[in-house]
Amino acid sequence: MQCDISAFTRILYQYNGSSLRKCILMCGLTGFYDLKAQRRRSEHHKIAQVMTQALYHRGPDQGDVWQDPDVPLALGHRRLSIMDLTETGRQPMESPSGRFMTVFNGEIYNVLSLRAELEAQGITFRGHSDTEVMLAGFDQWGVNLTLQKINGMFAIVLWDRRDRTLHFMRDRMGKKPLYIGWAGENLVFGSELKSLRAHPDYQTRLNKGAAALYFRYACVPAPHCIDEGVWQLPPGHSLSLKCEESAFPVSGSDLSQKMLVYWNAASVAQDAQQLLRTDQSEQDVVQEFEALLTQCVRDRMISDVPLGAFLSGGIDSSTIVALMQGLQDAPVKTYSIGFDEAGFDEASFAKKVAAHIGTDHHEMYVTQRDALDVIPSLPAMYDEPFADISAIPTALVSRFARQGVTVALSGDGGDEMLGGYNRHIEAPRLWGKLGRLPVTVRRMIAASIMAVPTAAWDKILPMRPQAGTALHKVAGLLQQDSREGVYDRLCSHWDDGAVTAQGITSPDLWTQRDEYNLQGLGFAEEMMVWDALSYLPNDILVKVDRASMDCALEVRAPLLDPRIYEYAWTLPLSYKIKQGQGKWLLRQVLQKHVPAELFERPKQGFSMPVGAWLRGDLRDWAEDLLSAQNLQKHGILKKDVVQRTWQAHLDGHGAHATQLWTILMFQSWAQKWL
């Protein structure tokens, strides 16, 4: 039986009864606990105000600070109002019983059903805030059960006044960030590092192990942080710290060791193998998936402020926009940016898709100068070194969309959920052939390839552009002895220790713990899980959160609903990758709304011609950051390796732009924060 979700949603939107209204607050949170209570209460308040003001860009509508009357705890909140723009949604907020106080960044999508459940148990509400419903849940059901019940994107700091316990919680997929660490004798926390750095006792000290991870992956993966003494709460994790006599017993210890998993993406994928939908027809699965995705889109379209969507013309964003348009009569506001550089422009595809769907489409062609002007703002925008080149166009499209809307839906998550990356298709093929060779033979071949510089290979094989770089990548794969090693190599920009000073290597990742070992999955499926655990939250979602919240734009991603993740893993791989093509299921949904010729094309990505810029307009900037003096300043980089790579890039020998970008973004970050 198929539900007419479209008709139901139109009725829902037309009904403006209070039972269907909710307050949604995208924002920033921060705060601290003074272990030694060394300052007066008035000084604590001033510090909290400064820390909160550091997050003004995340919530320009309102800012408040709350202090516990009995202990040296201060909570700060910046508010970006999305729905029910009244005082009833103001934070920090107290629970109905008075036991809990919270600062909350995000949105709970199933708040209406939770509210109805609580009202059936006799709970009454003074407003329509999802924060108020969440707090009532903590009162009624307890912290752990409520955490399991809520579905949304969130970072939560919850103070239990009765038990003197601070709880920290982060959503399952890692949409919203949360940093926790130390500033002298103060436990500090916040949505972004800049709020922690605003505490007068905070000292920015380089975490060299985290820096080594950054050079490998072009981002700092949770729970690590580029600042010594600070950690990121990973997705699907919580942390509870009990205060006793104004002191935490964990003072000075590694907080990451006390973080607990409440939702495990790896376990979800493995457990779902017992529930595979092998007895349903493809048509039924497509209809079922479309209905679920439509529900997730509808949940994210509730807003009292202007709402739109990013539209690149690709499969993910086009599907989201098509479903959005089916849920409302007025044209959806869509936004895309274009570039004049060949191979980097998708605006023409987006325009055709928008015309077919019938959206109110807005496009802006940006110049090279527009893109270059973003680069100096990146260290302040991201707080940590971050080298995903697509951060530049993401910032540009966010600023463009913010001129017309406050909320934008995006297509993030489709690749990780449904096998959309080239590595999901090509790596199993390649490893299926190479993996049959004995390890000793593979390594001998790899050594022979690596013995010839990339520039020499380019001369030997002039008919193949960047032949040396491609062969060296294959050699790197030949050196691996496991599928995990192949995946890690594919995701790495620099090998561990290749560019960092002697003795500086990467610490282990939390995804390498025993509870994240995968059994019974194929190679492509393993990579999809690893992407969901690390690449998605540490790169993609960091990129979008910081770029969008820098201009107070809320971005919602229907494909990142945990229901989509859980459903996708009940499907055989053939629903994701079929005949050498990824995202099969999403393509089937989209072609019901848009002709295939409008979206079927090679995957392009959302990038910029940084390689050419580094030889042109960015050369002077790069030369300064890569000078011997600057490279040796922090004792982290191998000067000779970096400068040799820089010269090879200038000479046109090999593809080194992404490697160099990790160095340049680190140097630019260090110049700003160290």
The DSSP annotation for 19-69 comes to GG--B-EEEEEEEEEETT--S-HHHHHHHHHHHHHTTGGG-BTEEEEEE-S
Q: What tokens were used for 129?
A: 């805030």
Which position has the higher pLDDT, 630 or 442? Answer: 630
Torsions phi, psi for 168 (to 5 deg): -120, 135
- Per residue in 138-185, pLDDT tens? 999 999 999 999 999 999 999 999 999 999 999 999 999 999 999 999
pLDDT of residue 411: 96
Among 3.40.50.620, 3.40.190.10, 3.20.20.70, 1.20.1250.20, name the CATH number for the domain at 268-419+526-598.
3.40.50.620
pLDDT of residue 12: 32
Winning range, highest mean pLDDT, from 411-425, 588-602, 606-620: 411-425
Where does the pLDDT of residue 314 fall: very low under 50, low under 70, confident under 90, or very high at 90 and above? very high
Where does the pLDDT of residue 14 fall: very low under 50, low under 70, confident under 90, or very high at 90 and above? very low
- Per residue in 283-301, pLDDT tens? 999 999 999 999 999 999 9
What are 67's strand-pairing partners? 74
Burial 281-305 (b: 16+ CB within 10 A, else e): eeeebbbebbebbbbbbbbbbbebe
Q: What is the DSSP string of 403-435?
A: TT-SEEE--TTHHHHHT-SHHHHHHHHHHHHHT
pLDDT of residue 18: 35
Residue spans of the domains in the chain: they are 22-262, 268-419+526-598, 609-674
Which position has the higher pLDDT, 83 or 250? Answer: 250
pLDDT of residue 474: 84
What's 451-478 look like in SS3? CCCHHHHHHHCCCCCCHHHHHHHHHHHH
User: d(Cα 29, Cα 52) in Å, to the nearest integer?
Assistant: 7
Quick check: bond before 72 cis, omega within 30? no
Q: Classify strands 152-160 and 186-190 as parallel, antiparallel or unpaired.
A: unpaired
CATH of domain 22-262: 3.60.20.10
Where does the pLDDT of residue 16 fall: very low under 50, low under 70, confident under 90, or very high at 90 and above? very low
Torsions phi, psi for 169 (to 5 deg): -140, 140
**Residue 367 Cα distances to 190, 223, 263, 334, 496, angstroms:** 35, 37, 43, 20, 36
- Per residue in 326-355, pLDDT tens? 999 999 999 999 887 766 667 889 999 999
pLDDT over threshold 90, residue 591: yes
pTM, to two decimals: 0.92
Kindly state the DSSP code that residue 500 receives in the 8-state scheme. Answer: B
pLDDT of residue 17: 35
Coil, strand or helix: which one is 90?
A: coil
- Per residue in 476-524, pLDDT tens? 888 888 899 899 999 999 988 999 998 898 888 766 666 667 888 999 9
pLDDT of residue 13: 33
Torsions phi, psi for 618 (to 5 deg): -95, 0
Burial 594-616 (b: 16+ CB within 10 A, else e): beeebbeeeeeebbbbbbebbee
Share of the chain above pLDDT 90, in %: 69
Q: Which of 97-101, 273-277, 451-455 has the lowest mean pLDDT?
A: 451-455
CA nearest to 101, candidates 127, 123, 78, 69: 69
Where does the pLDDT of residue 278 fall: very low under 50, low under 70, confident under 90, or very high at 90 and above? confident
List Cβ neighbours of 292 (8 Å cut-off, separation of 6 or more). Answer: 563, 564, 567
pLDDT over threshold 50, residue 59: yes
- Per residue in 99-150, pLDDT tens? 999 999 999 999 999 999 999 999 999 888 899 999 999 999 999 999 999 9
Q: What is the DSSP string of 203-271?
A: ---B-HHHHHHHHHHSS--TT--SBTTEEEPPTTEEEEEE-BTTB-TTTTS-GGGG-EES--HHHHHHH
Find the angle CA(539)-CA(212)-CA(483) to the nearest 5 degrees. 65
What's the N-to-C CA distance of the chain in angstroms?
Answer: 60
- Region 398-411: what's the mean pLDDT? 96
pLDDT of residue 89: 76
- Per residue in 550-560, pLDDT tens? 999 999 999 99
CA nearest to 111, candidates 135, 82, 86: 135
**Residue 670 Cα distances to 119, 227, 301, 497, angstroms:** 52, 11, 40, 19
User: d(Cα 276, Cα 424) in Å, to the nearest integer?
Assistant: 20
- Region 183-212: what's the mean pLDDT? 96
pLDDT of residue 8: 29
Q: Which of 493-507, 530-544, 580-594 has the lowest mean pLDDT?
A: 493-507
pLDDT of residue 246: 52
Torsions phi, psi for 587 (to 5 deg): -65, -40
- Region 294-311: what's the mean pLDDT? 92
Where does the pLDDT of residue 22 fall: very low under 50, low under 70, confident under 90, or very high at 90 and above? very low
